[in-house]
Amino acid sequence: GVSAILVIPALVLYSSLKPIHHTSVNDASGSITDNIKAGLSYVFEHSTLRFLMLGAIVMILTVGPFQSLMPVFAEEVLNVGAGGLGVLMLAAGVGSLAGSLTVVAIGEKVSHQKLELAFGLLASVTLIGFALSSWYLLSISLVTITAFAATSYMVVNMTVVQVYCPDYIRGRVVSIRFLVIGLMPFGALSMGAAAEALNAPIAVALIAVIGAVGFAAVQLVSRIFTKAESPKVPNNQ
């Protein structure tokens, strides 16, 4: 359909690209398991990557899965039915698109630590507001902002992961990052279980609070490690 037609220009551009062949002692070789181990080893050896992965895990397991409970909010909390659910999902899509464009516009003007902390806390706070809201129009606005902040966070996070890694290991590290994204169903499962045990608004609000604490903790510990690992300038006086 339309999606297939839109893909055609990208396929044409990709077909015109010529691969760069080079040799390196660090080229990927061996089994998939070996390459995953290589990526994990590189991540664990570099504190910046460790905390980027931890931050992504916090987002994936807390704020990220909120859309999985959107039908429950539309039906039982906001009483807007299928039509209202469609508008909520549209609002989330608009927020995500705006988030991606915003990160591109910001570029390198602000450090990624500040951006991740700001977007992570914003996503958590607005998700708490959405969970406790019973006003449909307010919920639409909060969903938009939550999706905006969550997408911005993930874009910044992924960008830094790719820029930080040298060419020879980037693919293997990015594969670890995609494995982190694969944890999303576990976040949705835990959110659904909490909603079943309590109720959807309380469950989502509590998980969002956990997310806010997680984002703050990751950035705080990251800065402590960065200062501890930074080389000390000798005093010549």
Q: How does pLDDT run across 56-101, given as a tens digit for each residue?
A: 999 999 999 999 999 999 999 999 999 999 999 999 999 999 999 9
Q: How confident is the model at residue 124 (pLDDT cuts 50, 70, 90)?
A: very high
pLDDT at 16: 63
Two tokens, residue 186: 């576990």
pLDDT at 112: 86
Q: Is the pLDDT of residue 233 over 50?
A: no
pLDDT in tens, 18-61: 655 544 445 555 678 888 888 889 998 888 899 999 999 999 99
Contact (CB, 8 A) for 123 and 207:
no
Residue for token digits 């899509």?
93
179 Cβ partners below 8 Å, 6+ apart? 36
Average pLDDT of the residues of the chain: 85
Q: How confident is the model at residue 111 (pLDDT cuts 50, 70, 90)?
A: confident
Query: Which has the minimum average pLDDT: 2-11, 74-83, 102-111, 177-186?
Result: 2-11
Give the C-alpha separation, 190 to 110, whole Å.
34
Give the C-alpha separation, 114 to 118, whole Å.
6
| Integer CA distances (angstroms), 179 to 76, 133, 191, 233, in order | 33, 33, 20, 39
pLDDT at 113: 87
pLDDT at 30: 65
pLDDT at 24: 46
To the nearest 10°, report the CA torsion of 125, 131, 134, 136: 80
Q: What domains can you pick out in the chain, each with its CATH number?
A: 30-226 (1.20.1250.20)
pLDDT at 22: 46
- What pTM value is reported for the model? 0.81
pLDDT at 208: 96
pLDDT at 213: 96
> Would you say the C-alpha torsion 42, 46, 48, 52 has a positive or negative sign?
positive
pLDDT at 225: 76
Contact (CB, 8 A) for 95 and 145:
yes
pLDDT at 39: 87
